[in-house]
Each structure stands twice: as C-alpha cells, then as structure tokens.
Amino acid sequence: MPDTEFLPELAERFAAKGVRLHSFLRDQGAIAGLGRRLANEVCHRAKLSPFASTKSLGIDGAKKVVAAIHEAIDEGLAYERGRPDMSSSADRPGGVHHRAGQPCPVCGDTVREVSYAKYSVNYCPTCQTNGKVLADNTTSKFLK
Ligand SMILES: [Zn+2]
C-alpha cells in the first residue's frame, strides 16, 4: 500500500480536527487537492459515512481513506487519458457524486443527497451508513 508513512499523521489530523469526514476532505488546510466530487467519491469508496466524525476513524479509517483517494484519482486519470478533450466534473466516472436517485454501482441501493448552499453530499446508505438514510436538509433543516 502506498503512503503508509503518512497514515499516522493523517490519523492524528483526524483526531485533532473532530469534524465530519466530508468536511475534512474538502478542507484544503487538512488535506490538499480534493474537491467536492472527490470528497463524495472517497467516502463512498472507503465505505465510510460522509458525516462520520474524524475523531472516530483512527488508523484504520486513515488507511481506508488513503486507499480510496488513490483509487478515485487513478480512475479519474485513466478516464481523462481516454478522452480527446478535457471532461467536466459532472462527466467523470464515479459511484455517487451527482448521482442522487440512481442505483449505487456497488450494491444497487439508491444514492442519496444532502444539499448545502455550495455543495451536495452524496452517499449510499447500504455502503456507507449501515442502511441509515440521513435527513435530507432540503426538507429538514436539522441534520445530524
Ligand atoms: Zn452502495
């Protein structure tokens, strides 16, 4: 596995931050270079809830997240290299990002969405939240 020397540091940052995993992944001060799409895709690939507290993840969570980042980026690059032009983010392959209402490519469950002003969190309940469907704040403002 690549980047194993980085795992303890990532686990420390998880513990120090104590924020939702999706927020951590988008925080350029915590881990640079991931945007909204990859934050969704990395959580899905890692089979972790985007709303999990980073305090709960530990070294096992760090391993899953690092592996998922590599997979998601490698897949995205392979896709770009196979095209004659640059794709837009919405075109790129993925499991959950901008796929609310569609079947999860891994398990077939329906991909869900929680929307915020500037981004949406997409996730698969079966893969990521033990089947729990989180409140969609387009109808409920009190998401936990
Ligand atoms: Zn799934």
Q: How far is the CA of 133 from the centre of ligand 1 (A)?
A: 12
Q: Would you tell me how many other CB atoms lie within 10 Å of the CB of residue 133?
A: 11
- For the question of whether the overall pTM of this predicted structure is more than 0.75, the answer is yes
* Structure confidence at residue 141 (pLDDT): 46
Q: What is the 3-state secondary structure (H, E, C) of 37-100?
A: HHHHHHHHHCCCCCCCEHHHCHHHHHHHHHHHHHHHHHHHHHHHHCCCCCCCHHHCCCCCCCCC
Q: How far is the CA of 79 from the centre of ligand 1 (A)?
A: 22
Q: How confident is residue 119, by pLDDT bands cut at 50, 70 and 90?
A: confident
Q: How far is the CA of 130 from the centre of ligand 1 (A)?
A: 10
| 91: pLDDT strictly greater than 80 | no
Q: Which residues are placed with Cβ below 5 angstroms of ligand 1, an ion?
A: 104, 106-107, 109, 124, 126-127
Compute the distance between CA of residue 6 and CA of residue 128 in angstroms, rounded to an integer. Answer: 24
Q: How far is the CA of 31 from the centre of ligand 1 (A)?
A: 25
Residue in the structure block whose two tokens are 């981004």: 119
Compute the distance between CA of residue 15 and CA of residue 10 in angstroms, rounded to an integer. Answer: 9
Phi and psi torsions of 112, nearest 5°: -110, 165
| 90: pLDDT strictly greater than 70 | no
